[in-house]
Amino acid sequence: MNKPIRTLSLFCGLLFLVLLGNATYLQYVKADDLNGNSLNRRVIEASFARERGAILVDGDPVAESKKSDDRYEWQRTYPRPALFAHVTGWFSFFSQSGIERAENDVLSGDDPQLFVTRLVDLLSNAQPKGGSVELTLDPAAQRAAYDGLLALGEGTQGSVVALEPATGRVLAMVSVPSFDPNKLASHDLTSVRDADAALNARKDQPKLNRAIQTTLPPGSTFKLVTAAAAIEEGLYGPESQVPAGASYQLPLTSNEAGRVTNATGNACNPSTVTLKFSLEWSCNTTFAKIADELGVDKMREMSEKFGFNDTSLLDLPGQAKSAYPGDLDRAQTGLSGFGQSNVRATPLQMAMVAAGIANRGEVMRPHLVDEIRSPDFDSLGKSKNEVYSRAISAATARQLTDMMVGVVDQGTAGTARIPGIRVAGKTGTAQTGRDDIANYAWFVSFAPADDPQIAVAVMIQNSNRVNSEISGGGLGGPIAKAVMEAVINR
């Protein structure tokens, strides 16, 4: 072999080695990154054309794939779109959200637990199918929550979350306004872009899951946390005399802005009342003074035991942290005692507070996924109940429960009464301090008080009412009652 041919052979050999190395790098080192890249159109098209598993509620599909006669073969559909939109999310060519995103590996069939199924499909030359996901939602509670919010009228923005106290199972999660995920899952990609742009342009943010993504001042429902801290610290008991009065000047203040008043007439005007009476009539002056007595560190510590400053729901992406800041001064700490200042909470967070009290002080981690199944509906695993924290003692929980029953029977939460059932509840109305933004109405409750089956949090962000017509008991109480009855009477 002469020198030119030998040189050319070496050069070709070198090129072959480079090509072999590059192919090995792409196939084995970068394969996962490339397959997971959101810009990889081949992966997107393959996934979009696959038969995904169903998302089920009580065995019925709330998201499923149906045969299509176009290039993508399978069309993702949502039979009851508005009712479950914020939980199922959507599966579009461009993006995914909700359970569609969180459980994508199972629904698409890529989960390692479905390896055998994929192997069988490969050997039999069958199209791969995804597994299904059963949710914890109770369809009657979900319907009651949704109908209750819609009954408040056009333009309502709000959310309802219901939990099973002993397990943390999410029984209802509704956010309004809702939307139709079918329009985002269409195979007509131009119409999908238009629908998505129209939803994103709306000021009422229909794609926002207010149950876990909106934090607002929780108002007087936060008095449950303040009362829990006061009892746990041995500061007061339900029958202890606590400071009250028509008004209270916050520490470090001397002007009108620092003067706390009550919204329940003269009931709180005596200089002292019992802690139970103060909760029943939601005396702001009492809880501002108690929060100042406790101090910011103990208030923050109790808040965090219930889940503030953390995210607890692992089954959905995008949960916002409810906040109890640790740097409040004395005036701000006083305001935090009745859920104002910089305290902010999601409806899920306040449902956890109610559920923790209902469950004898033990807060369970909320979860939405109940079971994962193969395409042949064989169970691949059920979710396990998990203790999130021990927030308060069983004795403190029992005292708070009795106080909350008093709020329903004698106090501000009478709209949630259920004949023959002891109901525990607490109202809340958070002042926005602005004429152009409506006050926020809150309501938390659980029932039956002696054997809690359900804990509910209702948040009304906007109901197109003037502030004088907005109250937690008036707007949220009837909704909470309907949701509780849906579970108790099933």
For 333-368, the DSSP string reads HHHHTTT-TT-BB-HHHHHHHHHHHHTTTEEEPPB-
* Residue scoring higher pLDDT (128 or 428): 428
* Distance, CA of 423 to CA of 407 (rounded, Å): 9
**pLDDT for position 36:** 60
| Spatial CA neighbour of 331 closest among 302, 295, 304 | 295
* Distance, CA of 381 to CA of 208 (rounded, Å): 30
Catalytic residue list contains 220: yes
* Distance, CA of 316 to CA of 209 (rounded, Å): 10
- 66-87 pLDDT, tens per residue? 999 888 889 999 999 999 999 9
**pLDDT for position 431:** 83
- Of 47, 92, 97, 220, the catalytic one is 220
The first and second tokens of residue 239, run together, are 């029958």
User: Considering all CA atoms of the chain, what is the largest pairwise distance in Å, rounded to the nearest integer?
Assistant: 112
For the ranges 153-167, 209-223, 257-271, the lowest mean pLDDT is seen at: 257-271
**Sign of the Cα pseudo-torsion (75, 76, 78, 79, in order):** positive
For residues 186-199, give the mean pLDDT.
96
With 60 as the cut, is the pLDDT of residue 336 above it?
yes
**pLDDT for position 31:** 66
Residue 327 pLDDT level (bands cut at 50, 70, 90): very high
**pLDDT for position 9:** 81
DSSP, collapsed to helix, strand or coil, labels residue 205 as coil
Spell out the domains of the chain, with CATH numbers in brackets: 221-368+385-489 (3.40.710.10)
Q: Within its chain, how far is the Cα of 475 from the centroid? A: 20
**pLDDT for position 50:** 83
The region that residue 459 occupies, defined by phi over 0 for left and psi between -120 and 50 for alpha, beta otherwise, is beta
With 60 as the cut, is the pLDDT of residue 301 above it?
yes
With 60 as the cut, is the pLDDT of residue 251 above it?
yes
Mean pLDDT computed over every residue of the chain: 93
With 80 as the cut, is the pLDDT of residue 381 above it?
yes
For the ranges 101-115, 177-191, 292-306, the lowest mean pLDDT is seen at: 101-115
* Distance, CA of 294 to CA of 99 (rounded, Å): 41
* Distance, CA of 357 to CA of 225 (rounded, Å): 10
**pLDDT for position 432:** 82
For the ranges 65-69, 256-260, 400-404, 433-437, the lowest mean pLDDT is seen at: 433-437
